[in-house]
Amino acid sequence: MNKKLLILFVILTTVNLHAQEISDTSFGKGMVNFVAKDSTFSIKFAPRFQVRSMSSWDHNGASYESADHNFIVRRARLKFDGFAYSPKLKYKIELGLSNRDISGANAFNRNTPRYILDAVLMWEFSKNWELWAGQTKLPGNVERVVSSGNLQLIDRSLLNSRFTLDRDLGVQLRHKSRFGKNFVMREKLSISQGEGRNVTEGNEGGLQYTARLEFLPFGTFKSKGDYTQSDLKREETPKLMAAFTYNYNQDAVRERGFAGDYMIREDGSIFQTDQTTIFADAMFKYNGFSFMGEYAKRTAANEIATEIDGLTPTGDVVLTGNALNLQMGYLFKNNYEIAGRYTTLSFEPITGGLSTQQYSLGVNRFVVGHKLKVQSDISYTTVDNMQNNITFRIGFDIHF
């Protein structure tokens, strides 16, 4: 080891040993939870990571020895949140460190790793009104807005991977209304750049407009359970959230609006087309039982990207079609859970996409809720009723 580095290591270790102190925080509540003496700001720091093992086998006429096996750090993240100046002005910063978190470098983000997941301010400027500004998740399908650390199965569904809106840069306006004793309605509006996170060389197309309306007829869930999977709080009375989302990406320049390849022509210009995505979803929980259902549909003014002459295909195709995802589980009192999921994808023939069906069965062991858990699932997938795949996954999550 370099002598200077060794000296620095010894100094830092010594300082760290003398600086140790007992904190009143607990596991799952953040490693650092600091509030300024004059209450002008706060900061909470919470690292987390997920490790996965996966075995995948296309078993049509093939032996199990041909299966693919993979071990990955699926996610590794650093999250900071708190308030600044006033508790009514909150912030969130989340950074990704794993390869899957930072992949996607291209000419429109200066060919750099995409470290920043969230960087957003949230201002409660009036009672029940919030204004958000920065980069964060759009108010899209419920499955996507659920944190990856709060999932019921190892990862999100095929519906989410093909049709979700994900993160974008822009502003959001959010409002909450209460009718009678229990009925709650939430409205969420967003105007964003329309090309996804960490884009620095935009805006190449038009803007993206998103509206979401949520209904909670039986009141709010415990601990924001409408945006976590599994009924860890064992709701004592039935709780339901039903919602509808409409998204319009004007002059979209990527194959899936916010994601996919940029549809670049031979002359260097970019093909643009209007894309519309709708979601209808629901979350239900009661006494350990949980259910989530989602429907998604994407359409485009022109699915086939063309050269400047408007006739010659470039080879890029907008991914249009629809999907259905149904998921449910039951949490036993010993903190073991069994869960199942059914997903079907149907694409417009012009896209060349093949219809897909997937059946998944999972078993979970929650040690400290979603903060420390072991998960496993097995999935059977058929593509165009011909290609059959079996995938087994097992992994753990730890979230300080």
Tell me the three-class secondary structure of the chain, residue by residue. CCHHHHHHHHHHHHHHHHHCCCCCCCCCCCCEEEECCCCCEEEEEEEEEEEEEEEEEECCCCCHHHCEEEEEEEEEEEEEEEEECEEEEEEEEEEECCHHHHCCCCHHHCCCCCCEEEEEEEEEEECCEEEEEEEEECCCCHHHHCCHHHCCCCCCCHHHHHHCCCEEEEEEEEEEEEECCCEEEEEEEEEECCCCCCCCCCCCCCCEEEEEEEEECCCCCHHHHHHCCCCCCCCCCCEEEEEEEEEEEEEECEEECCEEEECECCCCCECCEEEEEEEEEEEEEECCEEEEEEEEEEEECCCEEECCCCCCEEEEECCCEEEEEEEEEEECCCCEEEEEEEEEEEECHHHCCCCEEEEEEEEEEEEECECEEEEEEEEEEEECCCEEEEEEEEEEEEEC
Whether 211 is in a domain gets the answer yes
Whether 114 is in a domain gets the answer yes
Question: Residue 271 contacts by C-beta under 8 Å, 6 or more apart in sequence?
Answer: 253, 263, 264, 265, 305, 306, 314, 316
Q: How far apart are the first and last CA of the chain?
A: 32
The enclosing domain of 288 has a CATH number of 2.40.160.10
> What is the DSSP pairing of strand 289-300 with strand 304-306?
unpaired
CB 354 within 8 A of CB 384: yes
Whether 357 is in a domain gets the answer yes
> What per-residue string of b and e applies to 30-44 under the rule 16 or more CB within 10 Å gives b?
beebeeeeeeebbbb
Q: Single out the residue of 376, 377, 373 nearest to residue 361, CA to CA.
A: 377
List the chain pLDDT tens, one digit each, 400 residues. 455 544 544 444 444 544 455 666 789 888 888 999 999 999 999 999 999 999 999 877 666 667 899 999 999 999 999 999 999 999 999 999 999 999 999 999 999 999 999 999 999 999 999 999 999 999 999 999 999 999 999 999 999 999 999 999 999 999 999 999 999 999 999 999 999 999 999 789 999 999 999 999 999 999 999 999 999 999 999 999 999 999 999 999 999 988 999 999 999 999 999 999 999 999 999 999 999 999 999 999 999 999 999 999 999 999 999 999 999 999 999 999 999 999 999 999 999 889 999 999 999 999 999 999 999 999 999 998 887 899 999 999 999 9
- If one counts every other C-beta atom within 10 angstroms of the C-beta of residue 341, the result is 23
CB 243 within 8 A of CB 280: yes
Structural domain harbouring 207: 42-399
Which pLDDT score, from 0 to 100, does residue 63 have?
Answer: 63
Whether 16 is in a domain gets the answer no
pTM: 0.91
Calculate the alpha carbon distances from 103 to 50, 113, 116, 146, 158 in Å. Answer: 17, 6, 11, 21, 19
Whether 379 is in a domain gets the answer yes
Calculate the alpha carbon distances from 58 to 64, 132, 154, 158, 162 in Å. Answer: 9, 45, 20, 18, 21
Which pLDDT score, from 0 to 100, does residue 15 have?
Answer: 45
Whether 23 is in a domain gets the answer no
Which pLDDT score, from 0 to 100, does residue 58 have?
Answer: 87
Which pLDDT score, from 0 to 100, does residue 79 have?
Answer: 97
Number of domains the chain contains: 1
Whether 46 is in a domain gets the answer yes
Whether 339 is in a domain gets the answer yes
**Rounded Cα distance, 255 and 200, in Å:** 19
**Rounded Cα distance, 374 and 370, in Å:** 9
